[in-house]
Amino acid sequence: LQFVVSYCLRGANSACFDLLLRGLLNRTSVPREVVDYIVYGTVIQEVKTSNVAREAALGAGFSDKTPAHTVTMACISSNQAMTTGVGMIAAGQCDVVVAGGVELMSDVPIRHSRKMRKTMLTLNRAKTLGQKLSLLSKIRPDYFAPELPAVAEFSTSETMGHSADRLAAAFAVSRLEQDEYALRSHTLAKKAQDEGLLLDVVPFKVPGKDTVTKDNGIRPSSMEQMGKLKPAFVKPYGTVTAANSSFLTDGASAVLLMSEEKALAMGYKPKAYLRDFVYVSQDPKDQLLLGPTYATPKVLEKAGLTMADIDVFEFHEAFAGQILANLKAMDSDWFAQNYMGRKSKVGAPPLEKFNTWGGSLSLGHPFAATGCRLVMTAAHRLKKEGGQYGLVAACAAGGSSFPARLCHARVVSVAL
């Protein structure tokens, strides 16, 4: 596994699609013609690039004979891209797959109103000038009101932030605890960056601005400053704020997946092995962000391991309250027995092994790109810390989740 990630400044264009593929090839020296397939994930589709994996591949100079497709599974879209690639390799269909994810939160598609869309489609079918003028004369000022992208769950009409606030309240996670955890994330990310551990960034020239050479959302603050912020979702008494929530950013990520035989034949030493993974889904109303709690014991059982066997944990930090609620749920026999049908708890990860290079709260959350970052951060940590097993987990919109197990030159596990 090799990994490249780029966090672009707001305003960056789609050039970071193929930039990451070029960066991956440059860092690995893998010839383009060796790649059998490309799978990319994205959440907010751009109509002009409905299959962004294919367009990025062509833009990066891959052969037009190299197939590529795009997947979407909310915030675990690049996880789905990776496991799709793993499946292709396991089935003997491919030896080398590039997987990743991309999101441009600074340039999301914004639609015209439904009335305007209907009028424009009808106008396209008008045959005479008179018919066109007649349709245009019916346009009213309210037709020009845009439909802004929804951040709410389709099935519940509730924003994820509102759900995170309810989840924190349900598990008695205080505002103070959330702010303390968020500060921890930024502090650890700054330390990792200063120590040269976050080296996977491909420099990106933002049109009209400077070149981005490192993650630019890391901002260690103070408890006093964070405490001044007002609730962002549940007002006036909520506990989720801008400071203890992950921020949205542009970003792209890519990993190189190979069968062991192919990697060794080409002279590569595998950085990590992706051994086990599962996907789970829960009630999107009350358990939207509890996926890691449900997924982690399943992937551990599949691997024949316990929490004590895991050396490195990398969990997606959508919200500080979400992380802390999951840790409490995982450490609760009552929750395991009443909600999960288990006899006992799986146990909470020890914080000294948990997201020690920061996380989404400090590095940002470019929806579809985050999954690859989690997996490769775990792989890097396993190598540096001399660990054997890593576990990655992430929640996603719709109540989905992914856990996986990784191994440094042996195994890695992922929970989704």
Asked, for residue 375, whether it belongs to a domain, the answer is: yes
pLDDT > 70? residue 384: yes
pLDDT in tens, 77-119: 999 999 999 999 999 999 999 999 999 888 888 889 999 999 9
Domain boundaries, position 337: 272-415
Q: Flag whether 325 is in a domain.
A: yes
Say what the pLDDT of residue 79 is: 95
In a domain, 243, yes or no: no
Residue 134 domain-assigned (yes or no): yes
Looking at residue 15, its pLDDT comes to 61
Q: Where among 124, 144, 164 does a domain terminate?
A: 144
75 an active-site residue?
A: yes
Tokens of 372: 């690859």
Tally of domains within the chain: 2
Does residue 39 lie within any of the structural domains? no
Q: 8, 94, 372, 395: which is the annotated catalytic residue?
A: 395
Query: Residue 338 sits in a domain of what CATH number?
Result: 3.40.47.10
The full length of the chain comes to 416
Helix (H, G, I), strand (E, B) or coil at 263: helix
pLDDT tens profile 119-160: 999 999 999 999 999 999 999 999 999 988 777 888 898 999
Nearest to 75 by CA among 393, 415, 369, 413: 369
Is residue 278's pLDDT more than 60? yes
pLDDT value of position 409: 46
The whole-number pLDDT of residue 414 equals 47
416 has a pLDDT exceeding 60: no
Q: Which of 75, 94, 372, 407 is catalytic?
A: 75
Choose one of 144, 159, 187: the last residue of a domain. Answer: 144
Q: Is 183 inside a domain boundary?
A: no
At 8, is the pLDDT very low, low, confident or very high (cuts 50, 70, 90)? low
16 is catalytic: no
Q: How far apart are CA 6 and CA 60, in angstroms?
A: 15
Evaluate whether residue 354 is within a structural domain: yes
Percent of the chain with pLDDT over 90: 76
318 belongs to a structural domain: yes
Minimum mean pLDDT range among 6-15, 130-139, 335-344: 6-15
pLDDT at 248: 86
Please say whether the beta carbons of 155 and 398 come within 8 A: yes
For residues 230-250, average pLDDT: 95
